[in-house]
Amino acid sequence: MKIKSEPQKQPLNSSDTVTFADRVLGFFLQLRIKKSLPKDVEVLNPYQNDQVFELCRLFYKKYYDDPGQRILIIGINPGRLGAGLTGIPFTDPIKLLTYCGIQNSLPMKPELSADFIYRVIEAYGGPEKFYSKFYFSSVSPLGFTKDGKNLNYYDVRELKESLREFIIDSLEKTIAVGIDTAVCYCLGEGENFRFLCQLNDEMKFFKRIVPLSHPRFIMQYRRKKVADYVADYISKVSA
């Protein structure tokens, strides 16, 4: 795929009402990590790719083209086969086509986390109902790789420290697109939850943070209990 370093796009529509989708697309366009990162760590920024950004535009205009608020479900950071490829959190190219009806020419490879999340979305009532209430993002909305493998923002201490300013700024801007701050659901009950809670204690982003088992953990180590975890998700996000 051809990458352009400075894409020229106009995400906002010409009407007087700026929608949730408009603000999200504008947020994606300005995502940049300005600080130097540890050696051999590479950034996944799919929003600099015109093809991917157009898929994002189609997706967010389909499900978020209204001025209403959403509840945030926040992951760790994008991976190579999910949001790092499509630009849409927990949506691989297969789910984008089969569940969202958006044609794309990206490599049709599944992502484990997306497999689980779309089971939850279907159990909730389907994409239109789910996305009318919830919005997915990540503590770091840009992903990372090292030696060709996915890297979590907290896996390398120097990386987490260098990303602190970027993470705080991104969370502030994510909330500004139209997030209801009464509750936030955190994917990951370990390091991601601890870091987000520590940051929230300082910055007061959300009144309450509810942890959920991470989809990848479920699909790798608890696959026989997927139905139970889906039910747990539905119970907690519906409370």
Mean pLDDT for back-to-back runs of 10 residues, the chain (239 residues): 38 64 98 94 96 98 97 97 96 98 96 97 98 98 95 96 97 98 98 98 98 97 98 96
CA–CA gap between residue 188 and residue 217 (Å, rounded): 8
CA–CA gap between residue 191 and residue 204 (Å, rounded): 19
Residue 206 confidence (pLDDT): 98
Task: Give me the count of residues in the chain.
Answer: 239
Largest alpha-carbon pair distance within the chain?
Answer: 50
> Which tokens is 14 given?
């010409």
pTM: 0.92
Residue 163 confidence (pLDDT): 97
